[in-house]
Structure 1
C-alpha cells in the first residue's frame, strides 16, 4: 500500500497505513497501539518491523519490549588475557578495552593521553554525564554521548536483568537530566565505526576514526581502536602525542 497523499498534522504513516503495510487488521493494530493487546506474536513484530523499515538492533529491541527474546549469557566484566597481551604490543595505538556498560578495563598509554577518562576503572557514561571533561575535549560530544547511551540501551535489551546495567541506568536516571532525556529516545544501534573531533589541550585539534570490535569469545567486551588519516595534520598531532607519552612513533611515520 502506498501512503495516501494529502496534508498531515505530523510526519509518518497513519495508523491504518501501517496496519496495511504489516498485513494486520486496523482493529488489531489499534489494540496494540493502545496497549489493549500486550502479547503480539514474533511474526506480527517482524511484520511491523518490516513495515517500519527497522534495522536489526531496533527490531531486536521491539521483540525485547514484547518479552520474546531468550535469556542471554551474562556479559563478561574481566579483562581477557589475550586482549591484555595485545595492548602491550599495540603501545603506539590509542586502544581501549571496555565492557558493555562502558567500564574501561584497559587502555594503551596513547589512549589515556588522548582522553583522561580512557583509564582502567573509569566509566565512560559517568564521565559523559557527570563531569565536564567530555564536553571540553570533544567538539562532537552530543553525538558521542548519544552513541554511548545507545550502547547501554542495547546491552539493557540483551541482558535485561544484569544488576550492573540496572545500577548504572538507575544512577544516571537519578543524577542526570541529560541522560534521562536521551534514555527516553530508545536508540539502540550505536555504529561500530565513527569519527572523533577533539580539541586536545596538548596537541590541539585532531580528527580520529574509531572502530569498535566485539569479542565473540567474551560477550559484552569491546575493543575500541583509534586512528588518524595517513599524512594528515591529525596524524602529525597524534605523533606529537605519542612523543609526549614517550611512545616511539610507528615505523614509516618518523
Structure 2
C-alpha cells in the first residue's frame, strides 16, 4: 500500500471510530449505515471542503499542508502519537539509510548492569540486545534465531502461551508496530514484515486493519514465566538520543509484591546456573 493510500486508510479508520454523540452532532442525524462520522461531517469539523477530504481518503491529494493536518487531528481527536503518525504519512519522503542492527558496546554494558529484565528493540521491533534476566523472563532470546517481537507474538503459539492477557497485548503489539512503521513510511523492509505477518496470521490481519497507533512507552504486562509462574510487571521505554529507532525497555515489579519475589528467585536461578548465559548472541540480520 502506498503512503497516500495508507494515509487515506488511517483517516477512514479514525473517522469510523468516532461517536457522533460525543461530538455534539444533532440527534436528527441518525439511521447511519456505517459507524462513526460521515465524510461531510468530518470535513465540516476540520474546516475543509468535502471534495478535498474525499480526495485525501482516496489517496489522491498531494502536498497536504501542516495546517490541514492539524485541523484533521483536532477533528478526529487524535492523541499525540496518532497525530505524529498522521504527519509522518503526509510528509515528503526521502530515501533512508538501513536501520542499524547492533547496539553500542557501552549500551550492552549498561544492560548487563541493570538488575531488572531489560532489552533493546530496533526499528522493526527486532530485539537487538538484552541482559540475562531480560532473556529469561519472556522469550528466552538467547535460544532463538528469530527475535522479532511481532513475529514471536503472532506466528506460532508463543505469544498466547506467554501472555495470559493476550487480547490486550496483541492489540498493543500491532499498534506499536504501526507506530514504528509510521516513522519511516515507504520502508520496503517494513512492508515485507507486515506482508509476512499478514499472510501468517488472520488475527494480525484483522488488528492491522484497525489502524490503531500507540507508542511503546509504559504500562503493565502479565507474563507466564515457565520457571517462576505468573509475573505482573510494569515496563518503561526510553528512546536513545543518538538513535531514536532504538528503545531501551526495562521491566520492574511493585515493591513487596509476589512478582518482585518471583523475579528475585529467577535472578538467583540464573546466577546459580553453571551454564554460560549468552546475552550477546547476534540477530541473524545483525551487522
Do the structures match in fold with TM over 0.5?
yes
* Counterpart selection for 1:4 from 26, 34, 42: 26
Counterparts of residues 88-127 of structure 1 (less than 5 Å): 88-90=112-114, 92-119=115-142, 121=145, 122-127=147-152
CA distance 1:117–1:172, shift in 2 (3 Å) = farther
Change in CA separation of 1:113 and 1:48 when aligned onto 2, cut-off 3 Å: same
Structure 1 pair 173–229 and aligned structure 2 pair: CA distance change class (3 A): same
* SS of the residue 1:139 aligns to: coil
Is 1:59 aligned to residue 89 of structure 2? no
Q: From the superposition, tell whether residues 21 and 130 of structure 1 become closer, same or farther in structure 2 (CA, over 3 Å).
A: same
C-alpha distance in 2, partners of 1:27/1:116?
49
Question: Within 1, Cα distance between the matches of 2:229 and 2:156?
Answer: 21
| Matched pairs, number | 247
Which residue is 1:251 aligned to? Answer: none
SS at match of 1:246: helix
Of 13-22 and 134-143, more deviation after overlay is shown by 13-22
Any idea what the Cα deviations from partners look like across 1:87-132, whole Å, max 9, x if unmatched? 1211x31001111212111111111211134447511111111121
- Residues in 2 aligned to 1:153 and 1:195: alpha-carbon distance in whole angstroms: 20
- 2:102 aligns with 78
Tell me the distance in 1 between the aligned counterparts of 2:58 and 2:190.
29
What is residue 250 of structure 1 aligned with on the other side?
Answer: none
TM-score, normalised via structure 2 length: 0.76
Aligned to 2:212: 187
Question: Which runs of 5 or more structure 1 residues have no equivalent in the other structure?
Answer: 248-254
Q: Give me the CA root mean square deviation.
A: 2.6
Shift of 1:225: 0.2
| 1:16 Cα deviation from its structure 2 partner | 3.4
2:234 aligns with 209
Contact 2:176–2:216 (CA under 8 A) maintained in structure 1: no
Q: 1:89 to 1:27 in 2, by over 3 A?
A: closer
1:140-165 residue CA offsets vs partner (Å, 9 max, x unmatched): 22322222222221222222243432
Q: CA contact under 8 A between 1:97 and 1:105: conserved in structure 2?
A: yes
Decide whether the 8 Å contact of 2:175 with 2:214 is kept in 1.
Answer: yes
Among residues 190, 199, 209, which one is paired with 1:174 in the alignment?
199
Q: Judge conservation of contact 1:3–1:13 (CA < 8 Å) in 2.
A: no
